[in-house]
C-alpha cells in the first residue's frame, strides 16, 4: 500500500484521536483509511477499491448511477 504524508488541522486530528480512543477504529491509520474511503464513496469517485475486487460482490445498480441513470425521477 502506498504511503502518504498528510497534514490536517488540529481540530480534525483531535476528532480522529477521539474516535480511536472510543474504539470506533483500531488505530489512526485505520481511521484515516476508512474516513478517506467513505469520503471518496460519497463523491462517487471511480477506480479500483478493495471491496470491488470480487466480480458481482456488492454490485447495486442504484449505487453507481443514482436512480438507474435518472437522478431526478423514479424508475419502475
Domain map (residue ranges) of the chain: 10-65
Distance between CA atoms of residues 62 and 39, nearest Å: 18
Digit-coded pLDDT (tens) for 29-54: 999 999 999 998 888 867 665 555 44
Judged against a pLDDT cut of 90, whether residue 17 lies above it is answered with yes
Distance between CA atoms of residues 33 and 26, nearest Å: 11
The reported pLDDT for the residue numbered 51 is 54
The reported pLDDT for the residue numbered 21 is 97
The reported pLDDT for the residue numbered 53 is 47
Q: What is the pTM of this model?
A: 0.55
Judged against a pLDDT cut of 60, whether residue 58 lies above it is answered with no
Amino acid at each position: 500500500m502506498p504511503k502518504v504524508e498528510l497534514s490536517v488541522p488540529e481540530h480534525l486530528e483531535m476528532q480522529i484521536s477521539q474516535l480511536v480512543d472510543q474504539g470506533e477504529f483500531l488505530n489512526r491509520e485505520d481511521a484515516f483509511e476508512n474516513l478517506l474511503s467513505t469520503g471518496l464513496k460519497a463523491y462517487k469517485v471511480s477506480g479500483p477499491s478493495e471491496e470491488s475486487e470480487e466480480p458481482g460482490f456488492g454490485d447495486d445498480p442504484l449505487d453507481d448511477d443514482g436512480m438507474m441513470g435518472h437522478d431526478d425521477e423514479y424508475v419502475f
